[in-house]
Amino acid sequence: MNPGRAMLLLTWTEALFAAEAPRIEIFTTARYSISGATPAVQIYILDEPARIQAELSASLPQGKDAAAEFAQAQVQGAWREEAQLLTLAYQGLLKAKQYGVLRFPAIVFDGQMVVYGITDLEQALAYYQRLKAGVQ
């Protein structure tokens, strides 16, 4: 087989499987760890805002003026990562509400189907695929 043709076939096959792969979002709390997640899976840890805010508050010095000065310095530097984590966590809370997710852990497939209570992504994906195929 021509190497160019083989590469085209491989690329087409990869695209076909990529098109069939569901978009997966996981909504959980620190209490539940999810196994089998890959970088392509979006994980929202919904109790993260409270943890981050407590961590940030604990590092503030006593006194209003000192705390304000310290916070201002941190916002411009060290707290940027925490701000990004907070943003992601709040986005997760909003999405969970949008999807109507009621309990955790929850794994949402393609923004349409929710699987509750399973902490292994492979098991949840197999369950989703069985439901999608009409097999229960």
**37-88 pLDDT, tens digit each:** 999 999 999 999 888 888 877 777 888 888 788 777 776 666 777 788 889 8
Question: CB of 128 within 8 A of CB of 109?
Answer: yes
- Is 40 in a helix, a strand, or coil? coil
pLDDT score recorded for residue 42: 95
Report percent pLDDT > 70 for the chain.
82
Cα–Cα distance measured from residue 124 to residue 34, given in angstroms and rounded to the nearest whole number: 10
Cα–Cα distance measured from residue 81 to residue 18, given in angstroms and rounded to the nearest whole number: 31
Q: Residue 89's pLDDT band (boundaries 50, 70, 90)?
A: confident
- Each residue of 68-78: b (16+ CB within 10 Å) or e? eeebeebeeee
pTM of structure: 0.72
Is pLDDT at 103 greater than 90 in this prediction? yes
